[in-house]
Amino acid sequence: MVTLVVQRGSLTHCGKLMTMKPVVALIEDEPLQRMPLARALDDAGFEVVSAAYGPEGLAMLGDPGIDAAIVDIRLPGPLNGVAIIREARRRNPRLKAVLTSGQAPHEDVTDIGPFLPKPFRAPELIALVRTLLERGDERRVDDPAS
């Protein structure tokens, strides 16, 4: 009998391929920001799935294979980035998240994760995501299972 143990890795967004790459969801409505960031994250060794709008992003975060989310606070439509992460965490309390925006948040977001003001460089974001994922075995303070 062979037992496969995967310490970090997830099914890709298509659900067909096992990967050892951490899966990062990128929710950003501006394609000129989303596409280069997705490429940089991919080049840094992450599996990247992306969405441009809140409801699409929230649906994507329902996948338990998502290891971390990078979410713009200001998105068009009924859901902003803060609401997306708070709702996603109701389903997956261990979801790691980074919020970004060109403007300071209008509400306290310390319970969500780090805030990275725009403009930022991709290596800065990549380092932040790696730091969050390295703490992946830690339970969040708001995790009801802790």
DSSP 131: H
Locate the DSSP E strands across 21-129: 23-27, 47-51, 68-72, 96-101, 115-117
In a domain, 65, yes or no: yes
Give ∠ CA 136-14-74 in degrees, rounded to 5. 65
| CATH number of the domain bearing residue 94 | 3.40.50.2300
In a domain, 31, yes or no: yes
Classified as helix, coil or strand, 59 is helix
| Residue 57 lies in domain | 10-134
| Its pTM surpasses 0.85 | no
In a domain, 141, yes or no: no
In a domain, 4, yes or no: no
Residue 61 above 60 pLDDT? yes
In a domain, 142, yes or no: no
Least confident interval from 51-55, 70-74, 110-114: 110-114
In a domain, 71, yes or no: yes
What was the pLDDT predicted at 67? 94
Q: For the chain, how many structural domains are there in total?
A: 1
In a domain, 5, yes or no: no
pLDDT 10s digits, 112-126: 999 999 999 999 999
Q: How far, in Å, CA of 13 to CA of 123, rounded?
A: 24
Bridge partners (DSSP) listed for residue 23: 47
In a domain, 19, yes or no: yes
